[in-house]
Amino acid sequence: MSTQQKNVGILAMEIYFPPTCLKQEELEAHDGASKGKYTIGLGQDCMGFCTEVEDVISMSLTVVTSLLEKYAIDPKQIGRLEVGSETIIDKSKSIKTFLMQIFEKHGNTDIEGVDSTNACYGGTAALFNCVNWVESSSWDGRYGLVVCTDSAVYAEGPARPTGGAAAIAMLVGPDAPIVFESKIRASHMSHAYDFYKPILDSEYPVVDGKLSQTCYLMALDTCYKSLCNKYEKLEGKQFSMVDAAYFVFHSPYNKLVQKSFGRLVFNDFLRNASSIDESAKKIFTPFESLTGDESYQSRDLEKASQQVAKPLYDEKVQPTTLIPKQVGNMYTASLYAAFASLIHNKHNTLAGQRVIMFSYGSGLTATMFSLKFNEGRHPFSLSNIASVMNVAEKLKLRHEFTPEKFVEIMQLMEHRYGAKDFVTSKDCSLLALGTYYLTEVDSKYRRFYAKKAPEHGQRLSEIDMYVKMRTTYTWTERPYEALLFPSKTATCILEELEAHDGTSKGEYTTDRGQDCMSFVIEDEDVVSISVTAVTYLLEKYAIDPKQIGRLDVGTETIIDKRKSIKTLFLMRIFEVFAKGPAARATGRAASIAMLVGPDAPIVFEIKIRASHMSRVYDIYKPVLDSEDRPVVDGEISQTCYLKALDPYSIDESARQILAPFEYR
């Protein structure tokens, strides 16, 4: 579009969480925990969970279909689809491609965007990508669609009650009732091992609980201070709690939300903000001289902060806590479930108000940002969003399971994790009409789903699931300091590989048109070569790391199911950057760094581009214990490539090859 759009933000929302849940009070008794440990200590009431017939794909299919239908959105009007999730289904194939079946049958494959992954932050990254797209010269006039989907499960033990599951869909466009104040946002990103998933044959994370909470609060402090500074430069006045009607937090468990809001009140005291009265100053003064680290460990300060913050908490935070307390930690969906709770509770009085959002993902990534409400116009109005989400009714219709039944289901899910060649019970009796559910996983790890409807038994799609994942990653810190710039280069001449493999002469060189092949050796991986490429670019072009405001990494090589490559050491370049000569390997084609900005020698012709996205099994990586080797159907892969390049050039024989993968 020729002019920048106004009031870009969230036009519509829908939420889905499983109809199965467990009371935390009953789980306390079952686990032999002290009374109140989960309900008061964690601040949780219930926990939602997926049974064998639901997963992140089924939830995503359900929530996207529901949003499109309830807001009467033509699937052809979607121009960008972004998914945020830390639940890895395949090391190569994105969740977004699984959702494309909804749009393919309407003839729309020109939809940009893929998945964003870093712990619980992926949904926010996906949302920012869609908002930035609509605000940019790249926007083609269609809507952006964001999906946050996750199932949080834990091994038996103290972390298990912090599970949950949900999917949220958000429609993004101009003239929205929920508007981004793009200049009022601040991020903090760093490298930390607080909560991550390196054990790839298990759904369960490696958690350092104490460090994780400290990292969360440290990121909160840093983002809040930076946001306040930006606000003051923009508005010419000090920011304090009174400048926002509500505060919405990423919610692993409610007690951390209470601590976090208390922390912001303490920050306002340190900043001498106008929101802090004399009685609060008297309570906080004994803690004024604490260092940052000391303040994170002080239980007395924690109690004092929550005491001072309690009246403001009840006013500005409590209305956001309904769904997180009832469903649990939904990872990427948690922040937006809290936001949905606010709309549910206060939609009649939100117009004209500002809300501050805090998004956090372990590893770590965090952003605090500001939204403003307008009433909007039907169907994109706050009242209609609340009506469509219908939160109270969805919570009311859930079915409570006993702890014994929950444990039985978790054991089945553990057994099924990474398995193939099985059929589920197909029991959809607890699901509402229109809900997607898993029916089977075939011998190629492809997953089949059906949609609960009056006409039962319709198979909708094939979606694969990864199987056993490697278990060798039991480290707590990778020693890249010693291996940052390897001096060796590993290549293989394909003509020699032909002879070694006993293939016909020219099969690799002439038929495939390749000369050599590079590969990493034991002291290299995608992280080390990424660090090399980024550091090399910064030094060669004399770029101050402080000039970098956005860092995106594209890869299909999974090192950790939760922690992104960006946080996995790349952020250390910007945290403790020191110039100086270093030995490096050159010519690494596997890692390329590109600096993006205005007045460039290589210019994007933004309006001259087109996309084609579809759901097909050509090359994918569901077998996670096979290092990084994919499952490949060469004939289909080549045909898919050519079809994507020019869909009108496909001959009849090629169409027959692709026929089994067309939408039914």
In the structure, what pLDDT confidence band is assigned to residue 15 with cuts at 50, 70 and 90? very high
Q: How far is 89 from 464, CA to CA, in rounded Å?
A: 7
- Structural domains in the chain plus CATH codes: 9-466 (3.40.47.10)
- What are the backbone angles phi and psi of residue 355, rounded to the nearest 5°? -125, 140
Which range is least confidently modeled, 121-130, 407-416, 441-450, 487-496?
A: 487-496
259 known ligand binder: yes
70 known ligand binder: no
In the structure, what pLDDT confidence band is assigned to residue 491 with cuts at 50, 70 and 90? low
Q: How far is 263 from 301, CA to CA, in rounded Å?
A: 9
Q: Residue 453 above 80 pLDDT?
A: no
Q: How far is 607 from 259, CA to CA, in rounded Å?
A: 47
Which two structure tokens, joined as six digits, stand for 274?
């106008």
Which two structure tokens, joined as six digits, stand for 439?
């029916």
Q: Which helix (H) or strand (E) holds 437?
A: strand 436-441
Long-range contacts of 321-325 (CB under 8 A, 24+ apart): 321/251, 321/254, 321/257, 322/391, 322/395, 323/15, 323/17, 323/166, 323/391, 323/395, 324/164, 324/251, 324/254, 324/257, 325/43, 325/44, 325/45, 325/46, 325/254
**What is the gyration radius of the CA atoms in the chain, in angstroms?**
25
Q: How far is 183 from 172, CA to CA, in rounded Å?
A: 18
Helix, strand, coil shares, percent, the chain, to 5: 40, 20, 45
Look at 235 and 497; give whichever has higher pLDDT. 235
Amino acid making up residue 342? L
pLDDT in tens, 303-329: 999 999 999 999 999 999 999 999 999
44 exposure class (CB count in 10 Å sphere: 0-12, 13-18, 19+): buried
3-state secondary structure 515-530: CEEECCCCCCCHHHHH
In the structure, what pLDDT confidence band is assigned to residue 490 with cuts at 50, 70 and 90? low
pLDDT in tens, 545-557: 888 888 888 887 8
Residue 287 CA to chain centroid, in angstroms? 36
pLDDT in tens, 125-177: 999 999 999 999 999 999 999 999 999 999 888 889 999 999 999 999 999 99
Q: How far is 614 from 612, CA to CA, in rounded Å?
A: 7
Task: Please tell me which of 186-195, 467-476, 587-596, 631-640 the model is most confident about, judged by mean pLDDT.
Answer: 186-195
In the structure, what pLDDT confidence band is assigned to residue 623 with cuts at 50, 70 and 90? low
In the structure, what pLDDT confidence band is assigned to residue 568 with cuts at 50, 70 and 90? low
pLDDT in tens, 366-396: 999 999 999 889 999 999 999 999 999 999 9
511 exposure class (CB count in 10 Å sphere: 0-12, 13-18, 19+): exposed
Peptide bond into 379 cis (omega under 30): yes
Residue 57 CA to chain centroid, in angstroms? 14
Residues in the chain: 664
Is 9:127 a contact under the CB 8 Å cutoff? no
Q: Residue 4 above 80 pLDDT?
A: no
Which two structure tokens, joined as six digits, stand for 491?
């290549």
Q: Residue 653 above 80 pLDDT?
A: no
pLDDT of residue 628: 60
Amino acid making up residue 645? L
Amino acid making up residue 616? V
pLDDT of residue 625: 58
0.75 cut: is pTM over it?
yes
The secondary structure of 559-601 as a DSSP string is S-SSS-TIIIIIHHHHHS------------TT-------SS-S
Which range is least confidently modeled, 115-119, 436-440, 538-542, 651-655?
A: 651-655
Distance between terminal CA atoms of the chain? 35
Which residues carry out catalysis? Answer: 86, 120, 250
| Span 69-92, average pLDDT | 93
According to DSSP, residue 449 is labeled E
In the structure, what pLDDT confidence band is assigned to residue 486 with cuts at 50, 70 and 90? very low
**pLDDT > 90 fraction of the chain, expressed in percent and rounded:** 58
- What are the backbone angles phi and psi of residue 297, rounded to the nearest 5°? -100, -5
The Cα diameter of the chain in Å comes to 86
Which two structure tokens, joined as six digits, stand for 451?
């949609």
